[in-house]
Amino acid sequence: MSANDFMAPFSLDIDLAEGIMRNPTNHIVRRASDMRGYYADEAALDRLIEENGDPVHYEVFERPVPLDQGQLMFCISKLYPGRVGDEYFFTKGHYHEVLETAEIYLALCGRGYMLMKTPDDSLCVAETMARGRMVYVPPCWAHRSVNTGDDPLISFCVYPGEAGHNYGDIESQGFPKRVYFRDGKEQIV
Ligand code: PAN
Ligand code: ZN
């Protein structure tokens, strides 16, 4: 190997208090209208879009690396607080395209849940997320963040470079559980 074959090391700054990645290369913005078909109460989503000017639902900040085995992709995920009807805001959720790849989420700000399920729906688990809490998403589990707090739920995520994303299965099947604010408290139903 010559010096030209080595990828150059790099570094970047993450504001741990604010949960912000400085100078991201990619900035993915998902608005309420991108979430059509995901929430239980579609009419409530339409009202939210109409009355609030299609607000930003969540953002992802990335400094991508080559999508190769051996690399580690990482990002900051920022999910805003709110509800669609009585259902707490969540991310679309996905499997990894290479199903047998895991992911680590470290919560930096806010609180909520990481909702995870297996492809056959035999298992569906909600791990709590709060500042300083880490969730390990094992290989093969679909995952979705849910914000039950009053502030953005911000996480630092790391996963294998080759993982990729499969959104279609969750878009069509959803998760067996949803997180609501009902009778004055959080309920996972
Ligand atoms: C995260 C997610 C991020 C946004 O980086 O991509 O939280 O959620 P959706 O991808 O479900 O819209 C991750 O799990 N990457 O693999
Ligand atoms: Zn993932």
Check pocket membership of 92 for ligand 1, CB cut-off 6 A.
Answer: yes
Check pocket membership of 117 for ligand 1, CB cut-off 6 A.
Answer: no
User: Average pLDDT in the 89-115 region?
Assistant: 98
In whole angstroms, what is the distance from residue 143 CA to residue 163 CA?
A: 13
Atom of ligand 1 nearest to the CA of 143: 14
pTM: 0.97
Question: Measured in angstroms, how far is the CA atom of residue 135 from the centroid of ligand 2?
Answer: 12
- The per-residue pLDDT for 23 is 95
pLDDT in tens, 32-71: 999 999 999 999 999 999 999 999 999 999 999 999 999 9
DSSP-based three-state secondary structure for 148: coil
132 CB-near residues (< 8 Å, 6+ apart): 106, 107
User: Which mutation among 100, 154, 157 tests ligand 1's pocket best, with the greatest number of atoms within 8 A of CB?
Assistant: 157
Query: What DSSP element (H or E) covers 46?
Result: helix 42-52
21 residue type, one letter: M
* Kind of pairing between the strands at 153-160 and 103-109: antiparallel
Atom of ligand 1 nearest to the CA of 94: 11
pLDDT in tens, 130-176: 999 999 999 999 999 999 999 999 999 999 999 999 999 999 999 99
Tokens of 178: 């949803």
Check pocket membership of 159 for ligand 1, CB cut-off 6 A.
Answer: yes
pLDDT-based confidence at residue 3 (cuts at 50, 70, 90): confident
Check pocket membership of 78 for ligand 1, CB cut-off 6 A.
Answer: no
Tokens of 41: 């109460």
Whether 17 shows a pLDDT value over 90: the answer reads no
Question: Measured in angstroms, how far is the CA atom of residue 17 from the centroid of ligand 2?
Answer: 23
- The per-residue pLDDT for 4 is 87
**Among protein residues, the one whose CA lies closest to atom 7 of ligand 1:** 77
